[in-house]
Homo-oligomer: A and B are copies of this chain.
Protein backbone atom coordinates (compact mmCIF):
# COMPACT_ATOMS: atom_id res chain seq x y z
CA UNK A 1 0.00 0.00 0.00
CA UNK A 2 1.53 3.28 -1.09
CA UNK A 3 1.59 5.78 1.75
CA UNK A 4 3.66 8.28 -0.07
CA UNK A 5 3.31 11.53 1.85
CA UNK A 6 5.19 14.00 -0.31
CA UNK A 7 4.90 16.60 2.38
CA UNK A 8 2.62 18.71 0.23
CA UNK A 9 -0.17 18.85 2.77
CA UNK A 10 2.23 20.22 5.35
CA UNK A 11 3.76 22.59 2.79
CA UNK A 12 0.34 24.05 2.05
CA UNK A 13 -0.44 24.59 5.70
CA UNK A 14 2.96 26.06 6.43
CA UNK A 15 2.64 28.41 3.48
CA UNK A 16 -0.82 29.47 4.56
CA UNK A 17 0.51 30.14 8.03
CA UNK A 18 3.41 32.14 6.68
CA UNK A 19 1.11 34.30 4.57
CA UNK A 20 -1.45 34.79 7.32
CA UNK A 21 0.68 34.86 10.46
CA UNK A 22 3.97 36.34 9.24
CA UNK A 23 3.00 38.53 6.31
CA UNK A 24 -0.35 39.53 7.73
CA UNK A 25 -2.17 39.08 4.42
CA UNK A 26 -5.49 38.22 5.96
CA UNK A 27 -7.29 38.50 2.64
CA UNK A 28 -5.19 35.88 0.86
CA UNK A 29 -7.12 33.55 -1.47
CA UNK A 30 -6.57 29.86 -2.07
CA UNK A 31 -4.82 30.80 -5.30
CA UNK A 32 -2.46 33.12 -3.42
CA UNK A 33 -1.55 30.30 -1.07
CA UNK A 34 -1.15 27.77 -3.88
CA UNK A 35 1.12 30.16 -5.80
CA UNK A 36 3.23 30.91 -2.74
CA UNK A 37 3.59 27.20 -2.09
CA UNK A 38 4.37 26.53 -5.75
CA UNK A 39 1.60 23.96 -6.12
CA UNK A 40 -1.55 23.60 -8.14
CA UNK A 41 -4.55 25.09 -6.42
CA UNK A 42 -6.49 21.87 -6.85
CA UNK A 43 -4.26 20.33 -4.21
CA UNK A 44 -5.79 22.55 -1.58
CA UNK A 45 -9.13 20.92 -2.31
CA UNK A 46 -7.53 17.50 -2.57
CA UNK A 47 -6.01 17.71 0.88
CA UNK A 48 -8.51 19.90 2.70
CA UNK A 49 -11.71 19.52 0.66
CA UNK A 50 -12.63 23.19 0.94
CA UNK A 51 -11.18 26.58 1.65
CA UNK A 52 -13.22 26.94 4.83
CA UNK A 53 -11.90 23.69 6.22
CA UNK A 54 -8.30 24.66 5.48
CA UNK A 55 -8.75 28.08 7.02
CA UNK A 56 -10.40 26.73 10.10
CA UNK A 57 -7.76 24.05 10.50
CA UNK A 58 -5.11 26.74 10.30
CA UNK A 59 -6.96 28.74 12.95
CA UNK A 60 -7.40 25.71 15.19
CA UNK A 61 -3.73 24.81 14.94
CA UNK A 62 -2.80 28.42 15.61
CA UNK A 63 -4.73 28.30 18.86
CA UNK A 64 -3.13 24.96 19.72
CA UNK A 65 0.36 26.27 18.97
CA UNK A 66 -0.17 29.31 21.14
CA UNK A 67 -1.51 27.18 23.96
CA UNK A 68 1.32 24.70 23.65
CA UNK A 69 3.98 27.37 23.85
CA UNK A 70 2.31 28.99 26.81
CA UNK A 71 1.63 25.74 28.60
CA UNK A 72 5.26 24.65 28.56
CA UNK A 73 6.04 27.84 30.40
CA UNK A 74 3.01 27.82 32.65
CA UNK A 75 3.62 24.30 33.85
CA UNK A 76 7.37 24.72 34.31
CA UNK A 77 8.62 24.18 37.84
CA UNK A 78 10.23 27.54 38.24
CA UNK A 79 10.09 30.48 40.57
CA UNK A 80 7.69 33.12 39.35
CA UNK A 81 10.44 35.48 38.35
CA UNK A 82 12.19 32.92 36.19
CA UNK A 83 8.91 31.78 34.77
CA UNK A 84 8.07 35.31 33.77
CA UNK A 85 11.46 35.80 32.11
CA UNK A 86 11.05 32.61 30.17
CA UNK A 87 7.52 33.48 29.18
CA UNK A 88 8.66 36.79 27.75
CA UNK A 89 11.51 35.18 25.84
CA UNK A 90 9.39 32.40 24.41
CA UNK A 91 6.39 34.53 23.57
CA UNK A 92 8.40 37.34 22.01
CA UNK A 93 10.35 34.92 19.83
CA UNK A 94 7.07 33.49 18.65
CA UNK A 95 5.53 36.90 18.13
CA UNK A 96 8.51 37.99 16.05
CA UNK A 97 8.05 34.99 13.81
CA UNK A 98 4.25 35.16 13.65
CA UNK A 99 3.18 38.65 14.61
CA UNK A 100 -0.29 38.29 13.10
CA UNK A 101 -1.18 34.86 14.42
CA UNK A 102 -3.50 36.09 17.13
CA UNK A 103 -5.00 38.54 14.69
CA UNK A 104 -5.83 35.70 12.34
CA UNK A 105 -7.57 33.82 15.13
CA UNK A 106 -9.50 36.91 16.16
CA UNK A 107 -10.67 37.82 12.67
CA UNK A 108 -11.68 34.25 11.96
CA UNK A 109 -13.71 34.34 15.17
CA UNK A 110 -15.31 37.65 14.19
CA UNK A 111 -16.13 36.24 10.77
CA UNK A 112 -18.61 33.58 11.74
CA UNK A 113 -20.14 33.16 15.12
CA UNK A 114 -17.74 30.50 16.26
CA UNK A 115 -17.04 30.01 19.91
CA UNK A 116 -13.59 29.51 21.27
CA UNK A 117 -13.25 26.06 22.83
CA UNK A 118 -13.51 25.83 26.61
CA UNK A 119 -10.08 24.41 27.22
CA UNK A 120 -6.91 25.33 29.01
CA UNK A 121 -8.60 27.84 31.30
CA UNK A 122 -7.29 25.74 34.15
CA UNK A 123 -3.68 26.58 33.32
CA UNK A 124 -4.52 30.24 33.05
CA UNK A 125 -6.33 30.17 36.35
CA UNK A 126 -3.31 28.63 38.03
CA UNK A 127 -1.10 31.30 36.53
CA UNK A 128 -3.43 34.02 37.74
CA UNK A 129 -3.08 32.58 41.22
CA UNK A 130 0.68 32.67 40.98
CA UNK A 131 0.41 36.31 40.00
CA UNK A 132 -1.80 37.06 42.99
CA UNK A 133 0.67 35.34 45.26
CA UNK A 134 3.49 37.42 43.84
CA UNK A 135 1.49 40.55 44.45
CA UNK A 136 1.02 39.57 48.07
CA UNK A 137 4.78 39.24 48.34
CA UNK A 138 5.07 42.77 47.00
CA UNK A 139 7.05 41.64 44.00
CA UNK A 140 4.62 43.16 41.56
CA UNK A 141 2.21 46.03 41.82
CA UNK A 142 -1.18 45.04 43.18
CA UNK A 143 -4.00 44.92 40.66
CA UNK A 144 -6.50 42.55 39.16
CA UNK A 145 -4.28 39.68 37.98
CA UNK A 146 -6.19 39.63 34.71
CA UNK A 147 -5.09 43.20 34.14
CA UNK A 148 -1.53 42.09 34.79
CA UNK A 149 -1.87 39.38 32.16
CA UNK A 150 -3.38 41.74 29.64
CA UNK A 151 -0.60 44.22 30.27
CA UNK A 152 2.01 41.57 29.73
CA UNK A 153 0.66 40.25 26.46
CA UNK A 154 -0.20 43.70 25.17
CA UNK A 155 3.36 44.88 25.70
CA UNK A 156 4.74 41.86 23.90
CA UNK A 157 2.39 41.49 20.97
CA UNK A 158 1.14 44.89 19.96
CA UNK A 159 4.26 46.62 18.67
CA UNK A 160 4.87 43.73 16.31
CA UNK A 161 1.38 43.86 14.86
CA UNK A 162 1.65 47.57 14.19
CA UNK A 163 5.11 47.12 12.73
CA UNK A 164 4.43 48.96 9.48
CA UNK A 165 2.80 51.90 11.24
CA UNK A 166 5.54 52.20 13.83
CA UNK A 167 8.31 52.12 11.27
CA UNK A 168 6.67 55.02 9.53
CA UNK A 169 5.77 57.03 12.61
CA UNK A 170 9.06 56.59 14.46
CA UNK A 171 11.20 56.63 11.36
CA UNK A 172 13.06 53.40 11.94
CA UNK A 173 14.38 50.88 9.44
CA UNK A 174 14.16 47.10 9.63
CA UNK A 175 17.43 46.58 11.48
CA UNK A 176 16.67 49.26 14.02
CA UNK A 177 13.20 47.87 14.51
CA UNK A 178 14.58 44.43 15.17
CA UNK A 179 16.87 45.87 17.81
CA UNK A 180 13.99 47.73 19.44
CA UNK A 181 12.02 44.50 19.61
CA UNK A 182 14.91 42.57 21.09
CA UNK A 183 15.43 45.25 23.71
CA UNK A 184 11.79 45.01 24.64
CA UNK A 185 12.26 41.63 26.28
CA UNK A 186 14.33 43.11 29.06
CA UNK A 187 12.33 46.31 29.11
CA UNK A 188 9.00 44.58 29.56
CA UNK A 189 10.30 42.48 32.37
CA UNK A 190 11.64 45.48 34.22
CA UNK A 191 8.42 47.30 33.63
CA UNK A 192 6.13 44.78 35.28
CA UNK A 193 8.44 43.21 37.84
CA UNK A 194 10.31 45.22 40.41
Contacts and interface: CB of A to CB of B under 8 A. Distances in A.
B24 A161 contact: no
Interface stretch (A2-10, A75-83, A86-94, A105-113): A105-113
A155 interface: yes
Contacts of A170: 124, 128, 146, 149
Given A154-B158, A155-B155, A187-B147, A109 B169 contact: no
A153 interface: yes
A180 interface: yes
A116 B180 contact: no
B103 A103 contact: yes
Contact of A116 (B146, B159, B164): B164
A111 B27 CA distance: 7
A173 interface: no
A183 B147 contact: yes
Contacts of A105: 165
A23 interface: yes
A165 B103 contact: no
A53 interface: no
Contact of A180 (B141, B146, B157, B169): B146
23 contacts: A23-B110, A24-B107, A25-B110, A26-B26, A26-B110, A27-B27, A27-B107, A102-B165, A105-B165, A106-B161, A110-B164, A116-B165, A118-B168, A124-B169, A124-B170, A128-B170, A144-B180, A146-B180, A147-B184, A150-B166, A150-B180, A154-B154, A154-B159
